[in-house]
Amino acid sequence: MPKNQAADFVFEAAALNRLYRTGWQILGTGLSQESVAGHSFLVCVISFLLSIDMKVDREKVLLMGLFHDFEEARTGDVYKLADLYTITDKKKAVKDSFSPLKNSKYMLSLVEEYNKGISIEAKLVHDADTLALCVVLKQLMENGNVNAGEWLDSNLKSLKTLPGQKLGKIIKKTNSQNWWKKERIILHQSLANK
């Protein structure tokens, strides 16, 4: 790949840091600053976790998670309500995005496989995509958004894989601040001892 095409691809990827997911705004949240890139990172992390105990092509899972929304650099993020009224040529956007790559056919086949959702790898990444959304919905519920629970329950019901369903149940029950509970206790004690 010529150097300028590699740089162009990197700058296109960087645009996903500046593009925000739009669905949070219609839900009426103060949390409308989730970037497409941030969402994709969380999808990759969850995809990895879901694949740990499964016999799957983990590289494929991670690449699907990384690039599942890559076309949004060209199309923007369209929230679910707008999907009822708009038509976006995602196939063309993906093809144009990946065309400079040596392995563009492979990348296009990965995104197509993800979009069809037939393989176990694609199902895991779809569940990871949904669970990344559920993580934010759970945080919104904890912060008092009364409408987030409806969307959390609906999305949890859409999970297809057993690992996804198990993690979804755990996410719903877990306080989003538990991950650093022990450290908070230590910090609170140190403040009290000043």
CATH label of the domain that carries residue 36: 1.10.3210.10
pLDDT confidence band for 38 (50 / 70 / 90): very high
- Of 46, 40, 58, give the one whose Cα is nearest residue 120: 58
Average of per-residue pLDDT across 165-188: 96
Average of per-residue pLDDT across 27-55: 88
Q: How far apart are CA 114 and CA 24, in angstroms?
A: 24
Tokens 């296109």, residue located: 12
Within 10 angstroms of residue 116's Cβ, the number of other Cβ atoms is 9
Q: Would you give the DSSP letter of residue 35?
A: B
Q: How far apart are CA 117 and CA 15, in angstroms?
A: 26
Q: Are the C-beta atoms of 110 and 63 separated by less than 8 Å? A: yes
Tell me the per-residue pLDDT of 58-91, one tens digit each, with 9 for 90 and over.
999 999 999 999 999 998 887 777 888 988 898 9
pLDDT value of residue 119: 97
pLDDT confidence band for 3 (50 / 70 / 90): low
Q: How many domains does the chain have?
A: 1
**For the chain, how are helix, strand and coil distributed in percent, rounded to 5?**
70, 0, 30
Distances 185 to 70, 81, 116, 188, 192 between C-alpha atoms, Å: 40, 42, 47, 5, 11
Q: What percent of the chain has pLDDT over 70?
A: 96
- Domain holding 155, by residue range, is 3-192
Tell me the per-residue pLDDT of 110-142, one tens digit each, with 9 for 90 and over.
999 999 999 999 999 999 999 999 999 999 999
